[in-house]
A and B are shown apart, each in its own frame.
Chain A
């Protein structure tokens, strides 16, 4: 069965990983701009990174028959310096117009500080003014519950937001219900220790149903598995669920979500 990985950091992965993804049936990847493991020294570093996500990575994945789409933004970890973040945000419009860009992401909160919130408000405003889809990063570990609620508070206070075009990502057992109940897409990230496992993601699909749920590997430079989405598919099958359920979560849902972006131009294989 074919699948999409709606959140994976291809820039951090090797060609072996791309080959494994292609062999497993991955047709499309979504790559949000994120923290590369170190704070960048200036806006030019971001400019080059955005070029990498819109020029070079699409070519790398195309060599393996995988279509590459990107999200543009400044991650929460580097958003603490509000003045610097403003300079990076000023770079975004040029890249948001590029043909493989789906919207603004991954943006959100990290340690839930006032400065992170100020930067996030600017990013939300830019997204609304340009009618962009938004992919939200929710914080790690102890900060997740508090930060997810803060993000939802900000969105609830902005009547311009079209919730069907927003994904609240990295949801876990204590945050997924609130994202779904408020009409957003909910992303579940599969990590070996720090987020959800394939089995727990399958639990959440069983508990809340498959509608508006996206499952991703978020595979990056840390402990992560680029084949996590197939692991989730295997977990759902092992429980005896029909193939239609697997397909809805890993294929139909990401296509439906991505199709809301003007730049998404999926070419279904013959």
Chain B
């Protein structure tokens, strides 16, 4: 598969990316305007961590965002389950 040109991909994706970021910002504002607070909710902390992944310069952001929302895997699970 030939590698596409970055600017072509960016031109194609820009409005969608812009829209989704504004959607995300608006949803965060919506939670913020509501009564109470969710800062201690682990899901809120996962969101903050995921936003950090998106803003980081490293690649594989989708995979790394998935991992921020994933339970850890333990190598010894078969021993723990006795199977």
Contact = CB atoms under 8 A, between A and B. Distances in A.
A179 B78 CA distance: 19
Contact of A146 (B4, B60, B73, B82): B73
B33 to A, nearest CB: 23
Nearest to A196: B62
Interface in A125-150: 141-146, 149-150
Contacts of B1: 206, 209, 241, 245
B72 interface: yes
B81 A114 contact: yes
Interface size bracket, A side:
20 to 34
B58 to A, nearest CB: 14
Contacts, number: 48
Interface string B1-32: 10010000000100000000000000000000
Interface in B45-77: 60, 62-63, 66-67, 69-73, 77
A117 B83 contact: yes
How many interface residues does chain B have, given as a range? 10 to 19
A117 B69 CA distance: 23
A266 B29 CA distance: 53
A118 B81 CA distance: 9
Contacts of B82: 114
A92 interface: no
Contact of A173 (B66, B71, B72, B77): B66
B70 A142 contact: yes
A22 interface: no
Interface in A105-130: 112, 114, 117-118, 121
A203 interface: yes
A153 B78 contact: yes
B78 A145 contact: no
A239 B67 CA distance: 27
Contacts of A209: 1
A142 B4 CA distance: 32
A267 interface: no
A116 to B, nearest CB: 10
A60 interface: no
A232 to B, nearest CB: 16
A150 B63 contact: no
Interface of B: 1, 4, 12, 60, 62-63, 66-67, 69-73, 77-78, 81-83
21 contacts: A114-B81, A114-B82, A114-B83, A117-B81, A117-B83, A141-B69, A142-B69, A142-B70, A142-B71, A145-B67, A145-B70, A146-B70, A146-B71, A157-B78, A174-B63, A174-B70, A200-B62, A209-B1, A239-B4, A239-B12, A241-B1
Interface of A: 112, 114, 117-118, 121, 141-146, 149-150, 153, 157, 172-174, 200, 203, 206, 209, 238-241, 245
